[in-house]
Structure 1
Amino acid sequence: MAEKGNTENISSDDAVPGRMEHVLCQPCSSKGKQTEADVFCSVCDEFQCMDCSTIHKTYAFMKNHKIVNAKEFKTKPVSLDMKGLDQCDIHHNGIEFFCEDENQLCCSTCAIVDHRKCHSVVEIKMIAGKPVSMRSEIKIKLQDIREKAELVVENTKSLTEQLDQDVNGISLKTETLEKLTKKQSDSEKHVADATKSLETIDNVHQNGTPLQQFILEQRMKKQVDELGRNVDKECQNLETVTVSFTFDEILRLPSLPISYYVPGELTLKYSTLEDVKPIAPVDPILKLTQISSIDLKQSGDDVEEPLLSGLDFLPDGRLLTVDNKNKKCLIYNDKLEKVGSYQLSYNPLSVVAVSEEEVAITNGGQYKIDFLHVSKYNEITCNRTCKVKLKYGSVCMKDERHLVVGAIDNTRPVGIVSLSGEEKDFNISFLNKNYPVGTSSCTYIRSSNKVVITDRNEHTVYIYDTATNTSVVVKDYQIKEPRGLAVGPSDCILICSMKTNAIVQISQTGRILSSYKLDMKSPRSVCVSKDESVLAVTNCYSGKTMLKTFKISY
């Protein structure tokens, strides 16, 4: 809703036919001057004359402010009651700032105490007027969540009714009915929450200020992700339900094909009704629990601060890394203690375990791939070198005899190299685009023959299906400057999002499953152990490079 501006800014006292109503410039009024307003700025939230309005041309951050003619805008919006959403959860102050490094809303205390070391903490008023908005994306997610929750409600109702009908006269185990009732109740609440959130979004975007709209969008991102995860959990195991009946005495079941008494325990399995829309299987959402963490410091014969540009686990669980700055191949044990080292003659980019005792290393400066032998005693020697026609960066295994490699500065960004050095292309229509060093990485999903590529500059992930020559393009506010990536449990894709300092989990179809915030800046390389139980990640943040391992669970 909107109401008249303050009475001190209206020169006419009453509505009289033929009399023009003049709104006064608020900055001038604060100086004791009475000047008629020419425009209204919705970001500054005030009427201004032309002279006062020229400040919008002086400062760059004010150029995106929305200004309208004062005569066409005789009313100004009243600040909407955000019901605490615009208050800091910790300090209970008004939210005024946004940390772009950590993607967090801040009050003035947060900005000073918790984000003083961050590089980009901006006043929300400076960016709230920008045209980019997540509203439509958030609404689509909420509508999808509501539809899923409604399907769960419909499904549980149908199952309960069918079970009551099929086992009429027999006392059901209350535990089974209680589970169905709880699932229905939880899903009905999810429907209500999604509906309420959609109404809140529409209300704030119709009646709220740009600052309030920005705060709501940031708040809603986390709420929608959490709500989506809860609904996905409810969607699991809906295809069938098993009910057990235990009889204390012999029971006659005349409807069965036998006419005798059936003693003991009878288990009946009921399938979902055919008229209920089936719900697609839900990809498991991973949980990461930190195991070990070390700071990577310059030491010994290091020329510079370490930069681990590539990681991979050996089959026995040892972690293999390459240090780009100091030209080394390194081995770490499960406690992240350095147990092996080998000096290279070039700056390595990536590494992959080819077998139990052999690894392959790429570099962006030379046309070759080195194959090193790694003994169980952590001794490293050079086995052989394969000359290639292109320069390669990222590398992973395609099968037991071939590598998948990311090409540097080539219109065919991903290729295949055999262990003997023979090169060939994928039968994929890639985008006609070159990727310089550090702007893209690739991986390969063996089970579905899919190639995944990150585009750091475009904040995009591409998933190419080699069988159908089709692709999925993934862009999301949770993926900013994607760098390294790896295939995780259930063939999900784990991506280093450098700008949001997170590991983002997506499905093979490109659906965002989760985003795990890391206690490190600019994560760049990630790998998963062969038994899919451990994840390792490192970063490229000057002065604070780290290496961490996490336990993977569901």
Structure 2
Amino acid sequence: MAEKGSGNMKNNSSNDAVPGQIEQTLCQPCSRKDKQTIADVFCSTCDEFQCTECSNVHTTHAFLRNHKLVNAKEVKMKQVTFDMKGLDRCDEHQKVLEFFCEDENQLCCSTCAIVDHRKCHSVVEIQKICGRSASTLNTEIKVLLQEVREKAEKIVKHAKSSKEQLNQDVKEVYLKIRRMRDNVMQMFDDLVVSVSNNAESFKKETLDKLTKKQSDSEKHAADATKSLETINNVHQNGTPSQQFILEQRMKNEVDELSSNVDKECQRLETVTVSFDFDETLKLPPLAISYFVPGQLTLKYSVPKDEKPIAPVDPIVKFTKITSIDLKQTGDDAKEPLYTGLDFLPDGRLVALDNNNKKCLIYNEKLEKVGSYQFSYLPQSVVVVSEEEVAITSGSKYMIHFLRVSKSNEITLNRTCKVKTKYESICLKDEIKFVVGTYDYTKPVRIVSLSGEEKDFNINFPNKEYTVDTSACTYIRKRDKVILTDRQENIVYIYDIKSNSRIVVKDDQIKEPRGVAVGPSDCILVCSKGTNSIVQISQTGSVLSSYKLDMNFPFKVCVSKDKSLIAVSSNLNGGRKLQLLKVT
């Protein structure tokens, strides 16, 4: 216990007293109001030191006049408990915390010690163990809180800078459009409206996120400051028991606060907006909504001078499990070419052999356990449910639905007619597909399970792809379409909501072929020219490149639990099918 008034006075021992320094006792009523006033008297009945103003109540109220007041300097200091404002009381029983369970590392009141910790071997009084550590609080907590505050302030600063840069970028978009408006006035008047709406929509959404990030981080900084003030106050004025209690109480709160700020630091990205015009400008009377002479592009990047504490996107690594050579067998007319791959929910692999018009089922050891013969050339496959798959055809305007039983029997369920040639196919949701086209003006379309077709509201490049020159997939959670362009060595990431795109062009991506959605919604692309699987983030960053033990990787698919991928190749005379583990 501290001496009377020691919670509100300078406390010097005889060994470290400063010459000329006088101990001063503070008024206790004033201290409870967060005021520091020198005490003039001591009331033995009230059992507290008081300043002249506070002691005047003894003359104001008749029932206090018999209290005995003496000069504060004549009174020998007595012990008093520092006001912990409830921190030294049990949350459950509201009793004073008197014990510490060393078995469970937990503070206890007398009820806790008897009821909840009676079987524990080491429940000791706090007064007996509080002196084990140094008189100061755990400096690690203070250091961590200071780091939290610095990181939070860093986030606030970054958010403010990003908001300013975003406003400047959007203004630059407007200026660029206006400079060109003089040449084709009517066309660019319409273009300003179209692009400005998209830019403002993105700006509003991004500003809301940045404002929330700023607000949250300001709160984290304030919380850290408040906790530091509490620690300093208890360290200077509290008893060793109170200091020990506060240290235990603070640990979890500080860890949680630190974790929250670290997560925000890992997501520090700079958002930029730009507008680029196409090389060929199509003039009216064609509708501006159909031939927009430019593309709004959004980019996210981490500042060069500020690196995140940890990668924003996890790096996917692969380990080869097994591999088989795809060779012509007795009933094959040609060397097998697998143009479609997908996993069933139970882990079996569905593969389409385009050259030999087959659907094949493989188990987890890549042993063939089922087969089905088509009368047409199958192109791509997607698993629709536990026992149903959908097949596109390179020669038929149809989508075929096959049933694959648990015993690997394959039967035709139904067929729906379409009006477009489709190559790649994946699920958009429970009732619609996203399909990649060829010999058609829109490279990606939406098709329902009943065959109804419609286009995305996206400004795709005015280009018709031929067979085997592009592939697509869809990120359901993010509402994004991924499109590969083998001839241009490009991967496009289209944001449906904002009608914007990110262009990914990198030396590690050469002749991109098949594409799939991997763990954490990353993008996995077969790079034929580098014999690799390239991992791309949703924001367009190339995260990694895995060199495959095969030449000319062609198609890739990911298991439903994201733990496996299957890859096929299309090298004549050396085609393979491999199964890899994802970590």
TM-score scaled to structure 2, two decimals?
Answer: 0.51
- Structure 1 pair 511–170 and aligned structure 2 pair: CA distance change class (3 A): same
Matches for 1:210-359 after TM superposition, within 5 Å: 253=235, 260=242, 262-263=244-245, 265-266=248-249, 267=251, 268-269=254-255, 271=258, 279-280=268-269, 282-359=312-389
Q: Deviations for 1:21-72, whole angstroms, at most 9, x for unmatched residues?
A: xxxxxxxxxxxxxxxxxxxxxxxxxxxxxxxxxxxxxxxxxxxxxxxxxxxx
Matches for 1:365-514 after TM superposition, within 5 Å: 365-514=395-544
Return the letter of the residue paired with 1:265: Q
Aligned equivalent of 2:179: none
Matches of 2:240 and 2:360, distance apart in 1 = 70
Cα pair 1:253 1:262 within 8 Å, conserved: no
- Structure 1 pair 468–386 and aligned structure 2 pair: CA distance change class (3 A): same
Q: Deviations for 1:488-519, whole angstroms, at most 9, x for unmatched residues?
A: 00100000000100000001111100000001
Matches of 1:495 and 1:393, distance apart in 2 = 16
Structure 1: 5+ residue stretches without partners: 1-166, 181-238, 244-250
Cα pair 2:514 2:555 within 8 Å, conserved: yes
Matches for 1:162-201 after TM superposition, within 5 Å: 169-172=136-139
Cα pair 1:317 1:529 within 8 Å, conserved: yes
- Structure 1 pair 168–321 and aligned structure 2 pair: CA distance change class (3 A): farther
SS of the equivalent of 1:265 reads: helix
Matches of 2:515 and 2:339, distance apart in 1 = 12
Equivalences, count: 318
- Is 1:522 aligned with 2:552? yes
- Structure 1 pair 278–522 and aligned structure 2 pair: CA distance change class (3 A): closer
Matches of 1:256 and 1:417, distance apart in 2 = 71
> What is the Cα deviation at residue 347 of structure 1?
1.0
SS of the equivalent of 2:390 reads: strand
Return the letter of the residue paired with 2:404: V
Q: Which is higher, the Rg of structure 1 or of structure 2?
A: 2
> What is the Cα deviation at residue 170 of structure 1?
3.5
- Is 1:532 aligned with 2:562? yes
Cα pair 1:308 1:324 within 8 Å, conserved: yes
Matches of 1:465 and 1:303, distance apart in 2 = 43
SS of the equivalent of 1:399 reads: coil
Cα pair 1:252 1:262 within 8 Å, conserved: no
Matches of 2:458 and 2:487, distance apart in 1 = 22
Return the letter of the residue paired with 1:279: L
- Structure 1 pair 278–360 and aligned structure 2 pair: CA distance change class (3 A): closer
Return the letter of the residue paired with 2:248: E
SS of the equivalent of 1:432 reads: coil
Matches of 1:391 and 1:255, distance apart in 2 = 80
> CA RMSD for the aligned pairs?
3.2
TM-score scaled to structure 1, two decimals?
Answer: 0.54
Matches of 2:312 and 2:470, distance apart in 1 = 29
- Structure 1 pair 277–520 and aligned structure 2 pair: CA distance change class (3 A): closer
Structure 2: 5+ residue stretches without partners: 1-133, 148-216, 225-232, 270-310
Cα pair 1:460 1:473 within 8 Å, conserved: yes
> What is the Cα deviation at residue 169 of structure 1?
3.7
Matches of 2:535 and 2:548, distance apart in 1 = 13
- Structure 1 pair 527–256 and aligned structure 2 pair: CA distance change class (3 A): farther
SS of the equivalent of 1:386 reads: strand
> What is the Cα deviation at residue 365 of structure 1?
1.1
Cα pair 1:364 1:408 within 8 Å, conserved: no
Runs of 4+ with deviation above 2 angstroms: 167-174, 251-266, 268-273, 275-281
Cα pair 1:307 1:540 within 8 Å, conserved: yes
Matches of 2:241 and 2:528, distance apart in 1 = 69
Matches of 2:444 and 2:334, distance apart in 1 = 31
Return the letter of the residue paired with 2:549: D
Bigger share in helix: 2
